[in-house]
Structure 1
Amino acid sequence: MTNHPHALDSLAAADAAELAEILLEICSSPRWATAIAAAEPWSSREALLTANAAATAGLTDADLRDAMAGHARIGQPKAGDATSEREQAGVQGVDRAILDELREANAAYEAKFGHVFLICATGRTAVTMLAALRERQPNDPATEAGIVRGELRKINDIRLNRLLDAA
């Protein structure tokens, strides 16, 4: 990926309220957004992504729940939300039986862990997401929280890169 210094400059030039709004669109955890803003100025794309990794690693369980609240269930992209629809493109046009299996597996996961199943869906098919959901279902909460944190970091990286590439 190329570095877009002007994109970083535009992001850094945003006032505090505007920056918070932009960052909360990427990740709905207020603690994450605050940590990213506090890491400013970002000298490069890599510095911003490093700030994402550090901010994500520092999230508490409550912060992770805040972050996951901004994500649609796998198999159910938010209608009219271009980000959700783009990230879950792998479920578009999928057989109804697979979507039903995803819905059932999501319900079991949510009953066990108390939050949506979070996976970096970009580039994944519905079948591979369903397999990952089933594979992670037996995890204990601490193991799953670590996996969720890693998936959230990947999602945020993709969204940050997209933001910088669009500027």
Structure 2
Amino acid sequence: MSLSLSQLNALSQAAATSELLTCCTSSQWAQTLADARPFADIEALLSASDAAWQQAQTDEANLLEAFDGHPQIGNVDSLKEKYRNTQDSAAHEQSGANDAEDAVLEALAQGNQDYLDKFGFIFIVFATGKSAQQMLDLLQARLPNDRKTELVNAATEQNKITRLRLQKLLGDA
């Protein structure tokens, strides 16, 4: 569902928080952003979102809550299933994997499991416009990192995803 900015501004606190949670599943981020309304324009919303995300990421639990809202890129069965339904926003964001060879999808699935085992959360990447091979290359490049570095990397990618989802929510992407 697409909203206008004025509609988002006019929603109750609970309804606005609920809509914002479709963009990022960090409840602190969504509540902080809902509290910051009204927004004059999309740039004001995105700036407030960035600020709310900076605040939310000071607590690892908020990061993990946001990361939990994502499908795992590279789960072969779920990827193939998602691409049958191009309406799904996460599938659209991961559409670069749509034409991937099974070997690349299998390597993504294995790399994702290795990442999850090492860091305790799934691999988060702004997948829009990236091929499955590019996502695999990014995953393999980030696997040697330490957990602290990966929390920062994943938080940065999460913010890119959130900004795109906010624009989509407002029909502006």
Pairwise same-fold verdict (TM > 0.5): yes
Gaps of 5+ in 2: none
Contact 1:27 1:33 (8 Å CA) reproduced? yes
Which shifted more, 157-166 or 69-78? 69-78
The residue that corresponds to 1:95 in the other structure is 101
Q: TM-score, normalised by structure 2?
A: 0.88
- Segments of 4+ moved more than 3 angstroms: 76-81
Name which of structure 1's ranges 68-77 and 125-134 shifts more when overlaid on structure 2. Answer: 68-77
Residues 127-155 of structure 1, C-alpha deviation per residue, up to 9 Å, x if partnerless? 00000001111111111111111111100
SS in 1 for 2:38: coil
Contact 1:56 1:152 in 2 (8 A): no
**Partner in structure 2 of residue 144 of structure 1:** 150
From 107, 112, 116, the counterpart of 2:113: 107
Instruction: Look up the SS of the partner of 2:170 in the other structure.
Output: helix
The equivalent residue for 1:67 is 66
Segments of 5+ residues of structure 1 without an aligned counterpart are 1-5
- How many angstroms apart in 1 are the aligned matches of 2:68 and 2:150? 16
CA drift at 1:40: 1.0
| AA of the residue aligned to 1:71 | H
Q: Is 1:86 the counterpart of 2:86 in the alignment?
A: no
Contact in 2 for aligned 1:57/1:149 (Cα 8 Å):
no
Aligned residues of 1:75 and 1:99 also touching (Cα < 8 A): yes
RMSD: 1.8
Amino acid at match of 1:7: S
